Amino acid sequence: GAVVSQHPSRVICKSGTSVKIECRSLDFQATTMFWYRQFPKQSLMLMATSNEGSKATYEQGVEKDKFLINHASLTLSTLTVTSAHPEDSSFYICSAREMGTYEQYFGPGTRLTVT
Amino acid sequence: DAKTTQPPSMDCAEGRAANLPCNHSTISGNEYVYWYRQIHSQGPQYIIHGLKNNETNEMASLIITEDRKSSTLILPHATLRDTAVYYCIVRVASNTGKLIFGQGTTLQVKP
């Protein structure tokens, strides 16, 4: 079956530093990937849509200069949280849409803690 | 985007059928109904989707009303491992195919 991985699964960083999260589609190609954020006891909130070879589309209220998204290949998208602050601590989840279909597969998530 | 309404929580006895309702009264004709679930601290898992007809797979059945304004996800024999948050989503009818999650239903399967 279609598998999406995320790395790292957990990361702790200090306030003011940047952290990069990778999202990979392991056995399929994905022209589109999505990034979500989830705070405790809340639902997933879509942050941005990442398209291979082009700029990401951010949802309203999401700072594009703080959450840098790069989708350089058909199997990899990265989310970089720049100048992280404690309020950025959250569960970040990516999903990948299989090329030529509408089917989306989710990664296992990355737990970011900013101290 | 068509919005969905789900009860915040439900209980189900182990081995019994779990019926999870979803209201999507503003759904458009070309929008699909998708169901995902999320077990604690994991990424969402696809369950099933449908447009008009009822659907069944190895995990669940999806019953969509004739007017398409509501649907029910049925887990025929719930197990403790089915305890999760279940999300009913109407997929945006565009090329992006993005999924907008609501609050979902927390299903607690009890022994």
Q: How far apart are the first and last CA of chain A?
A: 37
First to last CA, chain B: 38
Instruction: Confirm if B103 and B5 have CB atoms less than 8 A apart.
Output: no
Question: With contact defined as beta carbons under 8 Å apart, do A99 and A27 qualify?
Answer: no
pLDDT tens digits for range A41-59:
999 999 999 988 888 999 9
Predicted local confidence at residue A29, as pLDDT: 93
Q: What is the radius of gyration, based on Cα positions, of chain A?
A: 13
Intervals of chain A under pLDDT 70: none
Given this model, what pLDDT does residue B29 score? 86
Contact present, A49 and A37 (Cβ < 8 Å):
no
- Asked if B101 lies within 8 A of A46 by C-beta distance, the reply is yes
Q: What are phi and psi of A87, to 5 degrees?
A: -70, -10
Is B35 in CB contact (< 8 Å) with chain A?
Answer: no
Mean of per-residue pLDDT scores for chain B: 92
Cα(A71)–Cα(A84) distance, integer angstroms: 21
Write out residues 36-55 of A within 8 Å (CB-CB) of B: 36, 43-46, 49
Tokens 């759904």 correspond to B27
pLDDT confidence of residue B93: 57
Tell me the average pLDDT across B27-54.
Answer: 92
Inter-residue contact A96 to A32 (CB < 8 Å): yes
Whether A102 and B97 lie within 8 Å, measured CB to CB: yes
Please spell the DSSP secondary structure of A33-83, one letter per residue.
EEEEEE-TTS--EEEEEEETTS--EEPTT--TTTEEEEEEETTEEEEEE-S
pLDDT given for residue B1 in this prediction: 60
Q: Which two tokens stand for residue B92?
A: 């945006």
| Backbone phi and psi for residue B104, each to the nearest 5 degrees, phi listed first | 75, 175
pLDDT tens digits for range B67-104: 999 999 999 999 999 999 999 999 875 657 788 899 99
pLDDT (0 to 100) of residue B30: 85
* Residue from the list A36, A43, A107 with its beta carbon closest to the beta carbon of B103: A43
